[in-house]
Amino acid sequence: MISMRGASSLILFVCVSVLVSSCYRLKPLDGQSTEVITSGNLGARVEFAIAPVVDLREVAESKIPDRQLRDAFAHALLKRRYSPLSLDYVDSKVVNASYEPGAAQEEAVLQITVMEWDSSLWQIHRALHVTIEAVAIDPEDPDGAVLWKARVARRFDKDDFGDPAHQPTEPLRLQHACDVIAVELLSEMPARTEAAGRL
């Protein structure tokens, strides 16, 4: 049977361990980047259809927050002054979990592909290690040259996501993380000079 003194010591040890783990800063990683692979030419295209997320992970240890990612990329497109079509409208055109470019009469398709989504450090350190590609496709020539393509391959953590107190629930924290990732990736996309419409 544990004495009162022993129980107090155990509680103190657990509290200190939790405090140390939460304050511990992750070491920086080398070789992390966000890069444009194809600059292409978006021309006068304004309306984008954001296709369902493609999961190309070799090991799927956790579910990808595909809807949150698409929402995040929709708002990131707005920041670049493009007009993303309603995701519900795009999804109404999906057949057998696949979107046919041009089905929503869009001017461009944004295809999001996830090669890595490592959330093993999320609960303790609010860190995600991701590799994600965003590709803009011409719906009239989906198999031709891409209009624009970029990839982010790095770890995002508290320094990127900011104070978690501003996102008091887990769904809000995850959505905010997706927003940060999408904004960084699409920051490499040429911005339009005219304001786009709202969702």
Give me the residues paired with residue 52 across strands. none
What integer is the mean pLDDT of 72-97?
A: 96
| DSSP code string of 95-159 | BTTB--TTTT--SEEEEEEEEEEE-TTHHHH--EEEEEEEEEE-TTSTTS--SEEEEEEEEE-HH
What local confidence, expressed as pLDDT, does residue 194 receive? 63
The answer to whether the beta carbons of residues 140 and 102 sit under 8 Å apart is yes
What integer is the mean pLDDT of 1-17?
A: 47
Angle, helix 170-186 to helix 66-79, in steps of 10 degrees:
50
What integer best gives the mean pLDDT of the chain?
A: 84
Q: Residue ranges per domain, the chain?
A: 29-186
Least confident of 9-23, 29-43, 103-117, 158-172: 9-23
Residues sharing a CB contact under 8 Å with residue 170, sequence separation 6 or more, in sequence order: none
Cα 38 from Cα 22, distance rounded (Å): 39
What local confidence, expressed as pLDDT, does residue 17 receive? 42
Cα 49 from Cα 108, distance rounded (Å): 6
What integer is the mean pLDDT of 134-162?
A: 93
pLDDT at 29 over 60: no
Confidence tier at 24 by pLDDT (50, 70, 90): very low
What local confidence, expressed as pLDDT, does residue 32 receive? 66
What is the Cα Rg of the chain in Å? 21
Class of domain 29-186: alpha beta
The answer to whether the beta carbons of residues 53 and 69 sit under 8 Å apart is yes
pLDDT at 22 over 50: no
What integer is the mean pLDDT of 137-143?
A: 94
- Torsion sign (Cα): 174, 117, 149, 45: negative
Q: Is 170 helix (H, G, I), strand (E, B) or coil?
A: helix
Give me the residues paired with residue 116 across strands. 131
Q: Tell me the pTM.
A: 0.81
What local confidence, expressed as pLDDT, does residue 7 receive? 46
Cα 31 from Cα 40, distance rounded (Å): 25
Tell me the longest C-alpha to C-alpha distance in the chain: 75
Confidence tier at 137 by pLDDT (50, 70, 90): very high
